[in-house]
Structure 1
Amino acid sequence: MSSRHLTVRALVTGVLLGILLTPCNIYSGLKIGWSFNVSIIALLIASGFWALLARFGLARTLGVGEGNIAQTTTSSSANIISGGLVAPIPALAMLSGSNLPPVQLVAWVFAVSFLGIWVAWYLRASLILRSGLAFPTGRATAETLMEIFNQGREAALKLRLLLATTFVAGTVKWLDGGWFSLPRPSLGFTLPAGGALSGYAGISAKNLTFTLDPSLMLAGFGAIIGFRAGVSLLIGALISWGVLGPLGLHMGFVTPGEFDPDASWFPTMVEWLLWPGVALMVASALTRFLLDGIASRRRGAGADATREGDGCRAARLIGLAVASALVVIAQTAIFDIGLGIAVLAVPIAFLLAMVASRVVGETGIPPIGAIGKVSQLGTGMIAPGEMTANLIGANVAGGAAGQSADLLNDFKAGHAIGAPPQLQVVAQFFGILTGSLVGSLVYLRLVPDPAGMLITEEWPAPAVATWKVVAETLSHGLGSIPSSALWAVAIAGAVGVAASVLEHRRGAAWLPSMPALGLAMVIPASLSITMFFGSLIASAVQRWNPNLAQRFSIAAASGLIAGESLAGVGRALLGVIG
């Protein structure tokens, strides 16, 4: 493989693709509250473009290291929505009546995302080198990288399989919701509606989100995360949406949705279920992080793992300090937030970024919405009634966590090909600089009047609605949080700590994954079910033919992820152009 990594053409390619793809995530985030990881898409476009020029003798083909830099730059740019552009910033604009001026908006989004870069680099040694977490998107990107640039019959077979599954998943996604909609069948059961729902005819499976989602991307995630994480997601879905949810509906502490057996009650039910789900993720991730750190120091392996990564410990610490100071200054200068609250937002962001990154490492799905709610609660305790501080403090935590989790996928791909992480950090810097400029200007162009345009049929902005509601609720004080939610937090937190201690002492084979279990409580059950089936199919292939599974499973799953992501970004881009 080529040893070239950080070249001008790789950076320029990544920046140009960032300019092209960042608007897609802004558009889809405001429309459906969902974004797309563009790493594999950027890699395919970049390598294809330079291969075309090489065919005509106009340039060399892109090297594997250069492909990684181009992809890292692009994904850092497109993930700029973690900086708050589709959630806390529009929510604050709706409450205040106007958007931030362009210069202030660009500066704020850059500062938050810049912190995420250094948090990710700091966590790299723990989550990638020592823990060896899957990071499904990063692993899929690495697989794509190696299959594009490897030579030989085996590599050619894998690349053809990857392209074939990319085409299938992309076609299915493009057609779904366009010319026709794929069926999303309910699991078919109905629960009696007594107690607080005595006026309802019953609770359908669709009300509880128990449907089959035909997403091939989710199935690909399931194949990569493995059977243990897939089963954990299924168990979490059954406990939360099959037991806790119906129990809460019956007793009245969980809110139902509209009286319609075909309607999903996810938006209202998750407002309570996110409390135990987030508590489980936070408690288990932080406990495991602490236990792994203690064990590493006892073995004397901490310094070895750091040197194995990059030998830039001083640079990481200095960068983290500078980024933290920048975020504090931005909070006080732009939003007039008190210095104490601004400073406290940084360690909260670091802790929650650890949680989000571990969840992404195990499942591939960033729980940024749930992480933001934890930060909003923390700010609500420190500064009750201050909605600006509530939203912006949570923006720091959610932004750093989101950008960190995404960039760790890039580090995972880079580690697989031996890319120096410090060069990836340079690419990430140019990526967030591009994304801050392009994303902020696109957001201001799309939504010049947030108060009048958002949370409407044209711009549903579900994430904006959630952040706004929580900020308004906490403005009335912590007494607005129901006691049932506090009990759920205490119990789930205790379970998370105990399970992590047991896993650390006896191994993970017989215990569910706590981050995956908690994640299942804050996403629809349909997503968990689809990922479980993906992991089940991959496990069955592994048992049937271990050699075949080892050779081709990751390539096939990576294609499913790439195809659906590519089609989703394509639709979003057409929406922006239209």
Structure 2
Amino acid sequence: MPQERELTPRAVLTGLILGAVLTPCNVYAGLKIGWSFNMSIIALLFGVAFWRPLAARGHVPGWTPKESNISQTTASSAASIISGGLVAPIPAYLLITGRPLAMGPMMAWVFAVSFLGVWVAWYLRPLLIERGQLRFPAGVATLETLTDIFAHGREALRRIAVLAGAALISAITKAVDAFVMTLPKWAPGAWFGHYTLALEPSLLLLGFGGIIGLRVGLSLLAGAVLAWGLLGPALVARGLVTVPPDPAASLFGPLVEWLLWPGVSLMVAASLTSFLWQIVSALRTRGDGSRPRMRPALARPLAGPLLGLLAASAMTVALQMALFDISLPMALVAIPFAVLLATVAARVVGDTGIPPIGAIGKVSQLGFGVMAPGQAVTNLMTANVAGGAAGQCADLLNDLRTGHGLGASPTRQVLAQCVGVLTGSVVGVVVYLALIPDPAMLLTEQWPAPAVATWKAVAEALSAGLGAVPVEARAAMALGALAGLAIGLAEHLLPPQQRRWLPSPVALGLAFVIPGSVSIMMCLGAVLVAIVTRLRPTLAERFAVAASAGLIAGESLMGVAAAVVSMAR
């Protein structure tokens, strides 16, 4: 029986092209709302939609499931490159130091920390997928979608048609806003617009709302009302923020400098509480009475992967020293620290499907805040090593779980991942610099960049202590931390029936550092999908994700194109 085609040139090239197209979507969305989208299923749909009709007409050999897997592995690794720091620690470094980072060094840095994560994932694969048999929900979802598509070919074309139609509508809307006329926000009164509580003409936000779910959407709305509807006016009334002279001007800029402190405290406390709880749970005795096999991650030192891990480590250490003047001891410590935290993150992803990259970053920042006190740059960029490695490690393990279900070759998937990382590093940096040619554009209503605000705030607080926090915000910061701790514990202690009524602490905190209009639109998207799911559950299951992804892709790609045109002018 002939072997099924897998790592073919067309599979890699398809993944490379799709990765180059999808990476800008995550960079754009990350700078807008601080979140990104797993592109595995979208890349899978596009690959099948292109090659299967050609194969049906006899123009090319049949497109195989394993080729699909290689293609989506390449594309998803490129799109997940933002975990390498493009929308968080790197912009935070630029804002803190004022020192620009050239395109070439930025590409090398993003590639190095992501490349490190690839080899950590390689050594974790036998432990977590083959012997540990963790579920890896995102990988299983991709596997189920792939199996369903190859069993029912027409379904893939229908989903692609919905995705393409939504993307076209979203792109046209953004093009009108960028090139024809500025589409206005709508608010029931000037007061609401003053405090950013308005409807924003962004279909991308509706798309993200459709993906995040009703609980997160309502939590965003509650956080927006609390931050921008209650706290904001109170701060203005007490004279704690400087109000611009123009009464029609937005108060986002003055208020976010105060509101980010309680918001960041809430997110960090909740994330760390949940993160530590999951570590403790993983170390406890399993329900069947057996204990998890705590074998070391580096259990199979094969020559090729070991050379890859050593090369990635050496590259990361050298770049820390050359680009950021980090001392050799701190640069060396960052490597085992990153491996350790990426291992923990991989375990969390395998159990829950949620990559705790934000929590990993905060743990790293806290750790290096103790080891290198008062050094904001060391704090940021050593933590970037852990975050970047954990992000790519989680992405590859999900893809390897898909491949495991297909009987695919892990070695070939790792090679595809490396191609994707290289593609994402180049495309991601080019897109970032096109969107944000001046770091002063960040932390504004146009580019809220909430992840940048979070990393910057934590680095400043750890290096300058409470002196970095406005005096009046310190009590709010403590309250935010207590609220995050309480919700984080409740998420694990309450029974499932009661847990679903808890707000999402990350969404609550995020609403403090993005305009209220963003939270409102995302909540609206979540509500719309929830209504469709209630009335037509089968229709929502088949097309909700595809339509939402199309809205995200259309606006983000057109937004990047508009930025490039603006630079050319």
TM-score normalized with structure 1 length = 0.72
| Structure 1 residues 231 and 393: CA distance shift in structure 2, 3 A | same
- Superposed counterparts of 1:87-102, under 5 Å: 88-89=89-90, 95=97, 99=101, 102=104
Q: Residue 552 of structure 2 is aligned with which of 544, 561, 571?
A: 561
Q: Residue 279 of structure 2 is aligned with which of 290, 304, 324?
A: 290
> Which position in structure 2 is the counterpart of 1:531?
522
Q: Hey, what's the Cα distance between the residues in 2 that align with 1:174 and 1:554?
A: 23
8 Å CA contact 2:136, 2:401 repeated in 1: no
| Structure 1 residues 534 and 498: CA distance shift in structure 2, 3 A | same
Aligned-partner residue type, residue 239 of structure 1: L
| Structure 1 residues 146 and 362: CA distance shift in structure 2, 3 A | same
Q: Hey, what's the Cα distance between the residues in 2 that align with 1:510 and 1:279?
A: 21
8 Å CA contact 1:143, 1:555 repeated in 2: no
| Structure 1 residues 143 and 553: CA distance shift in structure 2, 3 A | farther
Give ranges in structure 2 of 5+ residues lacking alignment: none
Residue 516 (str. 1) matches residue 507 (str. 2): yes
> Which position in structure 1 is the counterpart of 2:61?
60
Q: Hey, what's the Cα distance between the residues in 1 that align with 2:282 and 2:448?
A: 38
Q: Hey, what's the Cα distance between the residues in 2 that align with 1:39 and 1:428?
A: 12
Q: Residue 196 of structure 2 is aligned with which of 200, 203, 209?
A: 209
> Which position in structure 1 is the counterpart of 2:114?
113
8 Å CA contact 2:221, 2:511 repeated in 1: yes
Q: Hey, what's the Cα distance between the residues in 2 that align with 1:414 and 1:474?
A: 42
| Structure 1 residues 67 and 324: CA distance shift in structure 2, 3 A | same
Q: Hey, what's the Cα distance between the residues in 1 that align with 2:192 and 2:43?
A: 38
Q: Hey, what's the Cα distance between the residues in 1 that align with 2:136 and 2:549?
A: 19
Q: Hey, what's the Cα distance between the residues in 1 that align with 2:194 and 2:363?
A: 26
Q: Deviations over 1:4-46 (max 9, x none)?
A: 5433332233335556776787799899999887667755664
> Which position in structure 1 is the counterpart of 2:467?
479
Aligned residues: 548
> Which position in structure 2 is the counterpart of 1:198?
none
Give ranges in structure 1 of 5+ residues lacking alignment: 191-203
Aligned-partner residue type, residue 489 of structure 2: V
- Superposed counterparts of 1:77-88, under 5 Å: 77-84=78-85, 88=89
8 Å CA contact 2:149, 2:155 repeated in 1: no
8 Å CA contact 1:11, 1:427 repeated in 2: yes
8 Å CA contact 1:230, 1:535 repeated in 2: yes
> Which position in structure 2 is the counterpart of 1:193?
none
Q: Hey, what's the Cα distance between the residues in 1 that align with 2:144 and 2:204?
A: 16
Q: Residue 532 of structure 2 is aligned with which of 512, 527, 541?
A: 541
> Which position in structure 1 is the counterpart of 2:264?
275
8 Å CA contact 1:68, 1:414 repeated in 2: yes
Q: Deviations over 1:441-469 (max 9, x none)?
A: 8889999xx8xx65379x99876996779
Aligned-partner residue type, residue 440 of structure 2: I
Aligned-partner residue type, residue 385 of structure 2: V
Aligned-partner residue type, residue 66 of structure 1: E
8 Å CA contact 2:211, 2:545 repeated in 1: yes
Please state how far the C-alpha of 1:378 moved relative to its aligned partner.
6.0
> Which position in structure 2 is the counterpart of 1:501?
489
> Which position in structure 2 is the counterpart of 1:383?
372
| Structure 1 residues 281 and 169: CA distance shift in structure 2, 3 A | farther
Aligned-partner residue type, residue 552 of structure 2: I
> Which position in structure 2 is the counterpart of 1:224?
211
- Superposed counterparts of 1:126-275, under 5 Å: 149-151=150-152, 157-188=158-189, 204-250=191-237, 259-266=246-253, 267-275=256-264
Aligned-partner residue type, residue 73 of structure 2: T
Q: Hey, what's the Cα distance between the residues in 1 that align with 2:301 and 2:480?
A: 34
Q: Hey, what's the Cα distance between the residues in 2 that align with 1:238 and 1:144?
A: 38
> Which position in structure 2 is the counterpart of 1:430?
419
| Structure 1 residues 429 and 406: CA distance shift in structure 2, 3 A | same
Q: Residue 440 of structure 2 is aligned with which of 436, 445, 455?
A: 455
| Structure 1 residues 551 and 43: CA distance shift in structure 2, 3 A | closer
Q: Hey, what's the Cα distance between the residues in 1 that align with 2:330 and 2:42?
A: 39
Please state how far the C-alpha of 1:428 moved relative to its aligned partner.
1.9
Q: Hey, what's the Cα distance between the residues in 2 that align with 1:245 and 1:292?
A: 39
Q: Deviations over 1:481-516 (max 9, x none)?
A: 345555545444443344343332312233223333
Please state how far the C-alpha of 1:293 moved relative to its aligned partner.
1.7
- Superposed counterparts of 1:436-447, under 5 Å: 436=425
8 Å CA contact 1:350, 1:401 repeated in 2: no
Please state how far the C-alpha of 1:166 moved relative to its aligned partner.
3.3
Q: Hey, what's the Cα distance between the residues in 1 that align with 2:559 and 2:553?
A: 10
Q: Hey, what's the Cα distance between the residues in 2 that align with 1:284 and 1:484?
A: 25
| Structure 1 residues 485 and 142: CA distance shift in structure 2, 3 A | farther
Q: Hey, what's the Cα distance between the residues in 1 that align with 2:388 and 2:245?
A: 32
8 Å CA contact 1:357, 1:401 repeated in 2: no
Q: Residue 314 of structure 1 is aligned with which of 299, 319, 325?
A: 299
8 Å CA contact 2:103, 2:430 repeated in 1: no
8 Å CA contact 1:144, 1:555 repeated in 2: no
SS of corresponding position for 1:177? helix
| Structure 1 residues 423 and 527: CA distance shift in structure 2, 3 A | farther
| Structure 1 residues 132 and 488: CA distance shift in structure 2, 3 A | farther
Q: Hey, what's the Cα distance between the residues in 2 that align with 1:294 and 1:437?
A: 39
More displaced, 347-356 or 105-114?
A: 347-356
Q: Hey, what's the Cα distance between the residues in 1 that align with 2:546 and 2:33?
A: 29
8 Å CA contact 1:36, 1:568 repeated in 2: no
8 Å CA contact 1:384, 1:477 repeated in 2: no
Aligned-partner residue type, residue 166 of structure 1: A
Aligned-partner residue type, residue 59 of structure 1: V
Task: Tell me how large the CA RMSD over aligned residues is.
Answer: 5.3
Q: Hey, what's the Cα distance between the residues in 1 that align with 2:479 and 2:74?
A: 41
TM-score normalized with structure 2 length = 0.73
SS of corresponding position for 2:274? helix
> Which position in structure 2 is the counterpart of 1:15?
16
> Which position in structure 2 is the counterpart of 1:399?
388
SS of corresponding position for 1:521? coil
| Structure 1 residues 512 and 340: CA distance shift in structure 2, 3 A | same
Please state how far the C-alpha of 1:286 moved relative to its aligned partner.
1.0
Aligned-partner residue type, residue 530 of structure 2: S
